[in-house]
Structure 1
Amino acid sequence: MQSPELVTVGPKELGFQGLDNWGLGARSWPAGSGRPVLLVHGLAANARLWDEVAGHLSAAGHPVLAVDLRGHGSSAAVPDTDTDDPDAPAKDPTHTAASDLAAVCDEQGWAAPVVAGHAWGGNVALQLAADRPALVHGLALVDGGWLHLGDQWPNLDDAWGVLAPPQFDGITAELLWSSLRAGHPGWSDDAVSAVLGNLQERDDGTVTPWLERDRHRGILGSMLRHKPRALYALVRCPVLLLAAVGPSTPPRKREQLAKAVAALRNAEVVEFPGGDHDLHAQQPERVAELIAGLT
């Protein structure tokens, strides 16, 4: 498959004082005359996890862009909230990320791309489609975007107690890769290596997340506040909800899926029995085929 170009996207007005020409790091497959596709990773993840999906889409003739959101992967740790400034209007990481992606599409000259988002990236993609309904041609929500964390946890402390990321103190990249390889036997080596893109390697060989821990908590708080069901009526485009399901899938997840399909104008659920949460890493060819079907 074609290797991506590593680029920086986003107009200058995305920048902050003291950060001239700041933009989002991205992986680009620019060739092709088909409808463009924008790929959005999840919380604490990175754009590399979309590489195999993007390769299939590119081979089918679609220009593809997979973006690292602020503080993730190759993108700078530029603030996505103004809560530290009492005089500034409140901003929210999910809304900020959606605004960033809208600006990227405008800069690329993409009038009607298909947008796919995984997990929190699904929330971001849904927010983009609600904010700019004339912009998004089709929407793929990959095991996220319809989940309502606020239904499950009453406050951030309770959610953090369950969903806080692991500590990586003393863990080497080599050891982590071996552990991930053993834990994901159905994934390609490239997909396993892409997970390591969530982390930076120190001089001593140990790893630490690119996304700072406090910022991770802040985005989780944004997810608790985010209400996808309030956005469904604003979305005009066709929507695919790609859901990993299995015997242990909680009834709450199926109920939220059913409510999303009922409230969205043109939506369909595609189930992946026994699928991993990272469906795009586990089954990239099928995910790419479904995304391409929205074009």
Structure 2
Amino acid sequence: MRLHTTTWGSGDRIALLVHGLMADHRTWRRVGPALAERGYRVIAVDLRGHGLSGRAAGPAEYRPADHADDLVETLPSGAELAVGHSLGGLVLARALERLGPARAVYSDPAWHLKAGPAGFRAELFVRGKTMTREQIRGFNPDWPDEDVETEMASVRLWDERSAYGLRDFVGADMWPARAAVPSLVTLADPSTLVPPDSARMLAGRGFTVRTVEKAGHTIHRDDYDGFMSALEGWI
């Protein structure tokens, strides 16, 4: 599926941005322009089932492999930089060798969906479809008002069947075997997706790992300045 894209800037270098579950390109509303100011042409996708991209026929067509194939079909190969958040980090890793960026950044990537009561449950995400502005603000007290509004709009557009497409991967080992290109992993503090033992494992596989202190899962919204500081030397 060819995805809807949004572009900032017109520089010679290309940066690719891939959002997480329930979001769309608007999650990068500050990051995209900031990279454009650094000389990039920034391309952000809406994953299938999100934003203005098409919808799949059902949950079976919302697998990580389907999302990865969409990235390859939509985005240019050989970009200078590719950034993926959460689900976006998972599918970017699966598309990486075909996309061939020079560098990759994975922001609190969903490379292991835990099972159990405290793990990944599609139903909990689906409940987010009806969250009010006040509930979103309660979960994200430090977000600017524009991010709260954007989150509510993005969730309303989101096809919740995409959450059910991940159920078969709960508990699976989806950790990358190696850093195929120079790769940075930025982590929330604490990260529920990449705990300390997993962070050490990734470092042993060639990833640079940096934690953004006191940031939540959506690091670039929870602490924009901290996120951009963590990218120094990589952008």
TM above 0.5: yes
Q: Provide the rounded CA distance (Å) in 1 between the counterparts of 2:68 and 2:171.
A: 16
Offset, 1:184: 2.6
Aligned sequence identity (%): 23
Would the aligned equivalents of 2:72 and 2:95 in 1 still touch at CA under 8 Å? yes
Matched, 1:282 2:230: no
For the Cα contact (< 8 Å) 2:16–2:79, is it kept in 1? no
- In structure 2, the residue matched to 1:122 is 89
Aligned-partner Cα distance in 1 for 2:209–2:197: 12
Q: How much is the aligned-residue C-alpha RMSD, in angstroms? A: 3.0
Q: 1:88 — aligned with what?
A: none
* Structure 2 CA distance for aligned equivalents of residues 48 and 252 of structure 1: 25
Structure 2 unpaired stretches of 5+? none
1:49 has 2:14 as partner? no
Retained in 1: the 8 A contact 2:108–2:185? Answer: yes
Q: If you compute each CA radius of gyration, which structure gives the higher value, 1 or 2? A: 1
Name the amino acid aligned to 2:186.
Answer: L
Find the residue that maps to 1:241 and give its secondary structure.
Answer: strand
Offset of 1:105 from its aligned partner? 2.5
User: Which of the numbers 170, 189, 213 marks the counterpart of 1:245?
Assistant: 189
SS at match of 1:63: strand
- Distance, in Å, in 2 between the alignment partners of 1:293 and 1:190 is 29
Query: Within 1, Cα distance between the matches of 2:231 and 2:41?
Result: 13
Partner of 1:18: none
SS of 1:115's equivalent in the other structure is: strand
Matched, 1:216 2:186: no
Of 170, 177, 191, which residue of structure 1 is paired with 2:147? 191
Q: 1:286 to 1:56 in 2, by over 3 A?
A: farther
1:159-201 CA distance string (max 9 Å, x none): 55586225368x5x8xx2233234433222222222113233x
**Partners in 1 of 2:39 and 2:194 — Cα distance?**
38
Counterpart in 2 of 1:136?
Answer: 101
Question: Whole-Å Cα distance in 2 between the matches of residues 28 and 196 of structure 1?
Answer: 22
Which residue of the partner structure matches residue 137 of structure 2? 181
Tell me, in whole angstroms, the C-alpha distance in 2 between the residues paired with 1:270 and 1:181. 27
Q: TM-score, normalised by structure 2?
A: 0.85
Query: Counterpart of 1:87?
Result: none
1:227 alignment counterpart: 174
Query: Which whole-Å deviations, capped at 9, do the CAs of 1:125-150 have from their partners, x for residues lacking one?
Result: 11122x327x12111111114x422x
The equivalent residue for 2:115 is 153
- Alpha-carbon spacing, 1:251–1:113, altered in 2? closer, same or farther (3 Å): closer
Tell me by how many angstroms 1:241 deviates. Answer: 0.8
Alignment-mate amino acid for residue 5 of structure 2: A
Q: In structure 2, which of residues 54, 62, 78 is the aligned counterpart of residue 76 of structure 1?
A: 54
Q: TM-score, normalised by structure 1?
A: 0.69
For residue 104 of structure 2, give the secondary structure of its aligned residue in structure 1. strand
Conservation of the 8 A alpha-carbon contact between 2:3 and 2:54: yes
Aligned-residue offset at 1:223: 5.4
Work out whether 1:26 is the aligned partner of 2:5. Answer: yes
Displacement after TM superposition at 1:290 (Å): 4.1
Q: Distance in 2 between matches of 1:290 and 1:158?
A: 28
Describe the shift of the 1:159–1:243 C-alpha distance in structure 2 as closer, same or farther (beyond 3 A).
Answer: closer
Aligned positions of 1:159-178 closer than 5 A: 159=119, 161=121, 164-167=124-127, 171=130, 176-178=132-134
Q: How many residue pairs get matched? A: 235
